[in-house]
Amino acid sequence: MPPVRIDVHAAGAPYLVLIGRGLIATLPELLRDHGLTGEAIVVSCPPVWMRHGKALKAIAGRAGPTLIPDGERAKTLATVSKIYDAMIRRRLTLVAFGGGVVGDVAGFAAATYLRGVALVQVPTTLLSQVDSAVGGKVGVNLPAGKNLIGSFHAPSLVVCDPDVLRTLPAREFRAGLYEVVKYGVIASRPLFDRVSTRLADILKQDGAILSDLIADCCRIKARVVELDEREAGPRRVLNFGHTVGHALEAITKYRRFRHGEAVAWGMLAATSLSAARGLLSADDEAKLQDLIRRMGPLPVVNDLSARAALEVIRRDKKVVSGTLHFVLAREIGATAIASDVDPGEIAAAMRRLGMKA
């Protein structure tokens, strides 16, 4: 089947998202077709390069890839500096070949080196294919919080190949699936229902089903990004579950949770808060709780402090001029952005998850 093509008409620069099985084998031709010729700098991590690097050897050239550590703790300025060193010595198309961390760090290097060079995102995890590779958000972490240093830098091309997901550990795959659920909650009840009813086939990584899920999520994100590329308003809906999720990652020093797992807990907190306000029905809250439970076990939170998480939330980049913009659920498929959520409400929601005071 021909790849799915999604045109993102972003204000900064339009770009194309391609989704199809076996696409990474055609990456050299795709780059040429889009005018991205010559030897590129390929940024990846050791596990991804070991499993899939053969397809990109021609692009990386004799110098080979620039490999960075795997995992959230690699999202630092020190890692970016390593990429800068490679960029000084070589040509200026940067290919990010890996999961969300590789895409964020390499993207930030591309955004800031010479005030911006061409970036191609080739995401290799479900989470990065459905979310982080599209939209142009790039950045790194500080000890005080996640993505506190960042920029917006639209890629020139995004290439999603569902076949590379077959090598993902089950836990990593599930972590990405929580982001698919997020898209269902914020924008598409049919997508949410499809995940719920076809969960067994999805967890078996049926290629056709995955291609459709990835395409649906990318279409939703493209639509949101076109409305609000730099998160001045409507794009905030994409942060559903992320306020508490980012805090959980930070207070555990990015060691306990995969990003999607933290977002799953964040979605549970957000729906609990929404239901407590009378905004979300008990039935819809129960449906989200049931789906997340059926997807598999999450790392525990009952030893974590809601107070510590609130301290991180106060420093979150979603706090603008002292106001936290918190994404609530009105129903499965629709959200509301509230600027009057009290810290006590958030703490109560986290305690209902089992966290300590």
Catalytic center residues: 115, 137, 179, 221, 231, 235, 239, 242, 246, 259
- Six token digits for residue 319: 């706090």
Residue written as tokens 């055609």? 26
Strand partners, 44: 67
Using a 10 angstrom Cβ sphere, with 0-12 exposed, 13-18 middle and 19 or more buried, the burial of residue 45 is buried
In the sheet with 4-8, reading across from the earlier edge strand, the strands are: 4-8, 15-19, 157-160, 118-123, 93-98, 41-44, 66-67
DSSP H stretches of helix in 43-99: 46-52, 57-60, 77-89
Contacts 24+ apart (CB under 8 A), 284-287: 284/329, 284/331, 284/332, 287/192, 287/196, 287/332
CA distance 214 to 182: 13
CA distance 14 to 30: 17
CA distance 347 to 198: 34
- Six token digits for residue 196: 């719920």
Q: Provide the residue type at 215 as one letter.
A: A
Residue written as tokens 């061409």? 118
Residue 253 per-residue DSSP state = T
Of 196, 189, 238, which is closest to residue 218 (Cα–Cα)?
A: 238
CA angle 216, 135, 221 (to 5 degrees): 25
CA distance 274 to 28: 47
Residue 63 per-residue DSSP state = T
CA distance 76 to 88: 19
